[in-house]
Amino acid sequence: TSGLSAAVTAVFQNMQKAECHFINGAEKMRYVQRYIYNSQQYMMFDSDVGHFVEFTRYGEGFARYANSVPATLEYVRTAVDTICRVSYEVSSPFLTER
């Protein structure tokens, strides 16, 4: 049972993290979407680059697939306007007045 309990208590973490970087207010914005497995980033989308980039062998297939789907690329490429710009407009009055 000790081997079984070790397997049951193991934790595997698969995380997706989206970030908006506001450079000089609303003049320059950057959208970054990170894909992380067990604390290691294996793939990332950066709006400045415009496509998914892999960082590990594990991420190669994921990045190749994501870059081959036009709808996925269109969604993340427009995230600067649909996610970041909207978030900035909503939160900037609250943040800049404090």
Residue 1 in any domain: the answer is: no
Residue 3 in any domain: the answer is: no
Residue 8 in any domain: the answer is: no
Determine the pLDDT at residue 10. 75
Q: What is the pLDDT of residues 49-76, one digit of tens each?
A: 999 999 999 999 999 999 999 999 999 9
- Sign of CA pseudo-dihedral 19, 22, 26, 31: negative
Q: What is the pLDDT of residues 6-53, one digit of tens each?
A: 556 678 899 999 999 988 877 899 999 999 999 999 999 999 999 999
DSSP conformational letter for 48: T
Distance CA 14, CA 67 (A): 20
Residue 19 in any domain: the answer is: yes
- Residue, of 62 and 92, whose pLDDT is higher: 62
E runs forming strands in the chain = 14-23, 28-37, 40-46, 52-54
Domain that holds residue 90: 14-96
Model confidence at 94, in pLDDT bands (50, 70, 90)? Answer: confident
Residue 4 in any domain: the answer is: no
* Domain CATH number, residue 19: 3.10.320.10
